[in-house]
A and B are shown apart, each in its own frame.
Chain A
């Protein structure tokens, strides 16, 4: 299905579209959740709510770079996805090791269990996709 001429930097063709959908869902989920929690009851779990807000911002930025496309955006998105993965792993481990620091859950609690582990699966998929979307060379090498 290569009938449509593809711009080299386009990141949202094919599986990329699915990726953007899930990132969009996570943006809405994380941003609205943290906005509500920070507005109503910030004192209860400031650390957890701030982390959710940061997660929302990272998701928003990655979504923007994916939609924008191009080689620079691809590199920036790669770095952000790596940061996101690190965030999920660090915060996830943190919530498991020291639950007392988190009176309420964050988006990244327990490696994103409350979101069907999408937060940990998404950056892995995105990293794979972004690496594969690097300027494609002819030849069998992947």
Chain B
């Protein structure tokens, strides 16, 4: 369950990165549709956070330790919203680049989460 969610979130993050990267390539700031995309990816991260905590509460143990697992879950949860806020403050193509970088960072976090959980 959690691994499937990790995969979906990671792929969604990469798609978001590509989409915002495309906007940057065309010299455009992030628009409403991009923010809806970021909201979808953030929602996935929230679901992942909740599912992860429920798994922990049921007594399952991440391979590399509970503290690290929770820290990465929180990081994954905060990643895209933070980048989204920064792209709101920067209404040029560089805001789009920042949002794209947020997607890439989230994808990296998902890979690490997969290792930490012990997929």
| Residue contact A32 to B90, C-beta cutoff 8 Å | no
A: number of interface residues (CB 8 Å): 19
Q: A28-B75, A36-B67, A36-B68 are in contact. Are A18 and B105 (CB under 8 A)?
A: no
A-B contact count (CB 8 A): 40
B92 located at the interface, meaning its Cβ lies under 8 Å from any Cβ of chain A in the complex:
yes
Q: Say how far B9's CB is from chain A's closest CB, in angstroms.
A: 17
Q: Which of B68, B75, B98, B108 contacts A17 (CB 8 A)?
A: B98
A20 located at the interface, meaning its Cβ lies under 8 Å from any Cβ of chain B in the complex:
yes
Q: Which residues of A contact B89 (CB under 8 A)?
A: 17
Q: Which residues of A contact B98 (CB under 8 A)?
A: 17-18, 21
| Residue contact A20 to B94, C-beta cutoff 8 Å | no
**A114 CA / B25 CA spacing, docked (Å):** 28
**A25 CA / B83 CA spacing, docked (Å):** 10
Q: Chain B contact residues (Cβ within 8 angstroms of A): what range?
A: 20 to 34
Q: Which of A4, A13, A15, A25 contacts B105 (CB 8 A)?
A: A25
Interface of A is mostly: helix
Q: Which residues of B contact A40 (CB under 8 A)?
A: 67
A14 located at the interface, meaning its Cβ lies under 8 Å from any Cβ of chain B in the complex:
yes
Q: Could you tell me which residues of chain B, from 73 to 110, have a CB within 8 Å of some CB in chain A? A: 75, 82-83, 86-87, 89-92, 94-95, 97-98, 101-102, 105, 108
A60 located at the interface, meaning its Cβ lies under 8 Å from any Cβ of chain B in the complex:
no
| Residue contact B71 to A13, C-beta cutoff 8 Å | no
Q: Which of B68, B94, B101, B108 contacts A22 (CB 8 A)?
A: B101
A-side residues, CB < 8 A to B, are 1, 4, 12-18, 20-22, 24-25, 28, 32, 36, 40, 116
Give me 7 A-to-B residue pairs in the complex whose CB atoms sit less than 8 angstroms apart, sorted by A's number: A4-B91, A12-B90, A15-B94, A18-B98, A22-B101, A32-B75, A36-B68
| A15-B97, A17-B89, A20-B86 known, 16 other contacts, Cβ within 8 Å | A13-B90, A16-B94, A17-B87, A17-B94, A18-B94, A18-B97, A18-B98, A18-B101, A21-B82, A21-B83, A21-B86, A24-B82, A32-B71, A32-B75, A36-B71, A40-B67
